[in-house]
Structure 1
């Protein structure tokens, strides 16, 4: 007798996962339209002195850390993370409007940066919500987060050229209004398509969240130091490299742009490959590969000066930053179970602390020695990162 084969359910288009991808791209675009031209905006529009421009970046990082950490702890304890993301997008719109039409340095620093810090927190909160959604639905969290992180990198490939084109061709007010539109669309996407994850208070004292084991706290601290140093080397590179290329190697400014664009483009497949192999190879092993690539990259930056060699080195740079960007956040989340918001924001703040460290040392080293000497510091930071990673357990 003929037995009809069992039918398998047809795959349907997943609006939720697609919405996460769009929101990740939009939050990336909102940041990529503002950050690359900020120093130019402060110099040409606000007429701030160079020391005040540096102070603005440092103040932005400090305020951003305070705001994001406050929101991270609150989001893990109570409320709906989805509503928090919408709230952050709304304040991001207000920040863009303020930057578009205000030219007072201190208002921008204390009010604009405060509002911008909420807007930038929408991105780590979105990643925290994505992790909770992946855990709830049984989706592979590492690969899902890697794909989302690749969307942010794609935004940073597209965003900076568009930002410069808008600011030069139409003015900074138009550029900031476009960033505001990105926040508006992002908020609407979150409101319409992302899931709600309500926090429920424990019914019994015994069911209260357990504190992380002491070894996890130690490993989290070591990972924070490692990621901070890795992002610090990248920030040092971004600050010094264009000036090193133009002023010391006497090469074209376009080469610096090509080097940054090449690295950003190569980071996307690196993130996806790292996400695919994370379960098989382990996050610690992948992070170690990243640091080895970083050691080789900064050794190369100290040794070579030919344009094609400098471009070829960007493959190592992409491996270094691509794995850090794709795996680092997941590593924090695994070390801090049940605290997705705090873990994601802690990882995001390693970028801010890295900027503070590199911004402080880059100018001093260049003033005393040279831009080239900054790569020696980056190499030393990579060595210290190796020591930290050697003492962290795999998860």
Structure 2
């Protein structure tokens, strides 16, 4: 009876979000963008170090340039999205750069040509997901959805991104084994082309809240607020830990544990299988519980997951640990964006990009540290470094994020967007 009740609640909430205008199309786009990401990210270090022949340091610099391009270009796009240019046009632009960028990745093997492509084309492509999420918030505002429902809606929305990762890494590993990196990147380019056609044919231009005070979109105005700065610092540290983990895991599995590329694909595919129901459950939970508390739990789970990885001696031992990974991702990836959007509800594009850019800066730090440290430290010992980062982030969020918790409790439970 309990299982039926849980299934009924999950079904009811998914159908509720599905009926929101434009959301079925947004679900499809979220899945497509997630699929393209899941084809590239798990195998990026294998591409740079093993396929192109970069040194670990050169690869770290390469990934750093990719992250810097994403931060700088998506920031410019975010400012435009909250003031003048429609999000649909920007989504068309960023999808087109994805088609071009990953097509070039399929054929280029020169380090500098790849770095140029990564910075400019994939840097622009990085704005696709934050703009899609900001577009979703505009749809909620247009349809007068209560803010109390936002965490649930956005978690269900994020679920479709996770769905793509249930099959993406394993499918990417199979493509890599059968047609190599050239075929893999052409598939990523094709997915962005599909996204481009979907946006052109099925998405409408949605009205945005007009900002009369241009100062509202200045990111520095918000970063200097103590409670925002503290939360962003914790997010940066967790992002750095996660990025080191993403680059280190394929090398750790193939070179330390003597696993295969398929092992890597399966390892990255396991968490999303459990993230899907967990995200809906967390979304329902978030309508009854302070988001700050849930995000804190997510940070604690991330630290626990990284810590336990240090005791692994066989590839299969990582599989059960992926349940913990799924739990922390279902909380931090699903709730964190709506949590930070609440800081600047009048400018969701800026708020979303602020959070994502901080996580990208964290990724930049992680990429650079991976490249520098892995030249001298074993992939096994790299786990200790990013476990430390996640632990410090958890402590910062736990002991210095109380102002946000108090603020959120003082607000009315239901506010109109």
TM-score by length of 1: 0.84
**Greater Cα radius of gyration, structure 1 or 2:** 1
Q: CA deviation at 1:324?
A: 0.8
Q: CA deviation at 1:306?
A: 6.6
Match of 1:371 in 2: 379
The one-character-per-residue Cα deviations of 1:79-113 (angstroms, maximum 9, x if unpaired) are 21111111211222222332234443322211453
Q: Aligned partners of 1:210 and 1:323: how far apart in 2?
A: 27
Q: Aligned partners of 1:373 and 1:50: how far apart in 2?
A: 15
Match of 1:110 in 2: 116
Gaps of 5+ in 1: 1-10
The one-character-per-residue Cα deviations of 1:272-323 (angstroms, maximum 9, x if unpaired) are 2211111211110001111222333233334564766543322222222221
The one-character-per-residue Cα deviations of 1:124-181 (angstroms, maximum 9, x if unpaired) are 1000000111122134322221122111122223222333333442344433332222
User: How many residues are treated as equivalent by the alignment?
Assistant: 382
Q: 1:295 aligns with which of 297, 303, 307?
A: 303
| Helix, strand or coil at the partner of 2:287 | helix
1:201 to 1:21, Cα distance in 2 relative to 1, 3 A: closer
Match of 1:184 in 2: 193
Q: Aligned partners of 1:265 and 1:320: how far apart in 2?
A: 13
Match of 1:55 in 2: 61
1:279 to 1:291, Cα distance in 2 relative to 1, 3 A: same
Correspondence list, 1:1-395, <5 A: 16-42=22-48, 46-139=52-145, 140-199=149-208, 217-245=225-253, 248=256, 250=257, 252-253=259-260, 257-303=265-311, 305=313, 310-362=318-370, 364-366=372-374, 368=376, 370-390=378-398, 391-392=400-401, 393-394=404-405, 395=408
1:173 to 1:275, Cα distance in 2 relative to 1, 3 A: same
Q: CA deviation at 1:339?
A: 1.6
1:211 to 1:351, Cα distance in 2 relative to 1, 3 A: closer
Q: Aligned partners of 1:256 and 1:33: how far apart in 2?
A: 12
Gaps of 5+ in 2: 1-15, 409-417
Q: Aligned partners of 1:132 and 1:389: how far apart in 2?
A: 29
Is the CA contact 1:79–1:198 (under 8 Å) kept in the aligned structure 2? no
The one-character-per-residue Cα deviations of 1:179-214 (angstroms, maximum 9, x if unpaired) are 2222222122223333323446567x7x99598987
Match of 1:4 in 2: none
Is the CA contact 1:15–1:193 (under 8 Å) kept in the aligned structure 2? no
The one-character-per-residue Cα deviations of 1:251-289 (angstroms, maximum 9, x if unpaired) are 644655544332232222222221111121111000111
1:361 to 1:43, Cα distance in 2 relative to 1, 3 A: closer
1:256 to 1:182, Cα distance in 2 relative to 1, 3 A: closer
Q: CA RMSD in A?
A: 3.2
Q: Aligned partners of 2:180 and 2:258: how far apart in 1?
A: 29
1:386 to 1:245, Cα distance in 2 relative to 1, 3 A: same
| Helix, strand or coil at the partner of 1:281 | coil
TM-score by length of 2: 0.80
Of 384-393 and 79-88, deviating more is: 384-393
1:345 to 1:312, Cα distance in 2 relative to 1, 3 A: same
